[in-house]
Amino acid sequence: MNSHYLSTSRNNPQLYAFSQLFESSGYVDLQPEWKEQVQQTAWLEFWRREGHELLEVNWHRQHPDYKLAIELASVEERASWQQLWEEHASDQSAVFWHIFSCALDNYEQDLINGLRGVEQSLKEIDENLTHLYIERSESSDSESLDDEQQQLRLLGLPTSFGVQTERIKHKSKRQPANESESECDANSLNMDNDNNEILHAVQTRTIKKTKDKKKNNKSRIPHFMRDNEKPLLKYWLKRFSLFSRFDQGIQLDPESWYSVTPEKVARQTARRLACDVIVDAFCGCGGNAIQFAKTCGRVIAIDIDAGKLAMAKHNAGIYGVAHKIDFIQADFLQFASSTSLRPDVVFLSPPWGGPDYLKQANFDIEQCLLPLGAKQLIQYARRLTNNIGFFLPRNSNLKQVIALTHPGQQCEMEYNYLNVRLVAITAYYGDSLIIPKK
Ligand code: ADP
C-alpha cells in the first residue's frame, strides 16, 4: 500500500499530522469506513486551513515579479494572469491532494503495523530505507544535482514529473524548475502557449528570475559532513527543513544535526501544547523550545549539556524569542526530583541513541531510550504535571507507547509526515491535552 509515486517540484515539504486516540488498554478497532472518514474530514480541514496560503506562496515563488507586473498589465495581460492563476490553483490542489492521499495511505499502513507490532525483517527495513541514503541512490555526479533534486530524492520522491493521473500530466504547462522536469514536460507542453503570445510572455517572465535564484552554498557545509567517510550531505540538504532561518546563523553541533526536530513538526507540537508554562526537558539546540516560545507564555528549556544550551539560546535569538525562554543546565531527572515548579505541560524528547535507532524493526522504548526507559521517564515528568507530550521514533513499539497512559484514560498518537515520509510520532497524555472520545 505504501506509495512513493509522487509528483512535486517543491523543495519545502508539507507537514501532514494524523492523530488517533487510544484507550489505556491498547484496544482499537479500525472500522472499515475509518479511512474514508479520516480522508474526507482531514483533507477538508487541511485545505480550508492552509490551501489558500499554499497556493499564494507557490504562486509568488513561481512568479516573483507578479505584483509589479499586474500593476502595469493591460486588460489582455490581466486576463492571461487570471487564466494562469486558475491553472495554478487547479494544478496545485491536484498535486497536494495526491501527496495527501499517499501520506494517508502510509499512515493507515504505519498505524496497522504499529498496532500489530509487526516484526519486519531487517532486510525489508533496509530496502525501505535505501532511498534515504544519497550514496546508495546517487550516481557519482550527485554533487552536481541541485538542492531541490537532492531533497526530493531524500524524501523518496521522483525528481521529474511522473505522476500517473491524467489531471497532472495534462497540467504541466508551467515552467519546469529543473532539467529533468523539463525533459519530461517537453513532451506534454503543447503549442497552445505559442498561440497565445501574451500568456507566453507572462510565463516566460518568470524563467529568468527562477534561474537567477540558484546559489552555490557548498563552501558553508560543515567540515564534519564533508570529511566524513559516509557522506552526510543529506543532513545539509535538509537544513531549511530543520530551521527556516538557517541562513541567518543557526548553530548546530554534529549530534544535533541528527536529532533536531524539523521546524514544521516542532511548530505543530507547539500548537498542540500551547499553554502558560511548558518544560522542554531535553532541549538540545532549541528546535522545539523556539516554537514553544511562540505559543506558550514561558518556556523552561533544560539540557544537561551547557554547549547545547548556548546554541539553543543563540538560535532562539535568531527567531526573536530568547527572552521568553529560561535556559537551565541540569539533568532532567534531578530537576524533576527537586523543583517546586508546576508547569502546565512537560515535553519529553529524550535521546534516541543517534541515527541507529532506525536499525530496529520495532524500537523498544523501554530498553533503548536514554537516560531511562519510557515508563520511568514519564514518572519523573508526572512529578511536575500529568500533561505530557512525548516525541518518539517513528518505529516505536506502539503497545509500549499506549501502555504509558494512566488506567482508564486515553492517549493521543500523532503521526507527523513531511510529505509522505513519517518523521516521528508524538504521543500526548493528560486530562488537559486529551479531549476524551464521547
Ligand atoms: P538523539 O539520540 O535523538 O540524537 P541527543 O543525543 O541529541 O538525542 O539528545 C537530546 C538532548 O538531550 C541532548 O541535547 C542531550 O544533551 C540532552 N540530554 C541527555 N541526557 C539528558 C538529561 N539527563 N537531562 C537533560 N538533558 C539531557
4-38 pLDDT, tens digit per residue, is 334 344 456 788 888 888 887 766 666 777 788 87
Cell numbers of 259, please? Answer: 536529532
**Residues 337, 341, 343, 349: what is their CA dihedral angle, to the nearest 10 degrees?**
-40
Which pLDDT belongs to residue 212?
A: 45
Q: Which residues contact 400 (CB under 8 A, 6 or more apart)?
A: 364, 365, 366, 374
Residues in the chain: 438
C-alpha 52 – ligand 1 centre gap (Å): 38
Output the average pLDDT for the chain. 76
- Alpha carbons 256 and 245: distance in angstroms, whole number: 16
Q: Ligand 1 pocket, 57 CB below 6 A?
A: no
Q: Ligand 1 pocket, 253 CB below 6 A?
A: no
CATH architecture of 122-147+219-429: 3-Layer(aba) Sandwich (3.40)
C-alpha 250 – ligand 1 centre gap (Å): 19
User: At 430, is the pLDDT very low, low, confident or very high (cuts 50, 70, 90)?
Assistant: very high
Which residue reads 532549541 in cell numbers? 286
Ligand 1 nearest-atom number relative to CA 258: 4
Tens digit of each residue's pLDDT (9 = 90 or more) over 108-155: 888 877 776 644 444 444 444 333 322 223 333 333 334 444 443 444
- Alpha carbons 208 and 210: distance in angstroms, whole number: 5
Q: Which is it for strands 410-418 and 15-23: parallel, antiparallel or unpaired? A: antiparallel
Per-residue burial over 338-350, b = 16 or more CB atoms within 10 Å of its CB, e = otherwise = ebeeebbbbbbbb
Question: Does residue 231 surpass a pLDDT of 60?
Answer: no
User: At 344, is the pLDDT very low, low, confident or very high (cuts 50, 70, 90)?
Assistant: very high
Question: Does residue 170 surpass a pLDDT of 80?
Answer: no
Instruction: Specify whether the CB–CB gap between 7 and 162 falls below 8 A.
Output: yes
Q: Ligand 1 pocket, 254 CB below 6 A?
A: no
C-alpha 398 – ligand 1 centre gap (Å): 22
3-class DSSP assignment, residue 413? strand
Ligand 1 nearest-atom number relative to CA 284: 14
C-alpha 117 – ligand 1 centre gap (Å): 27
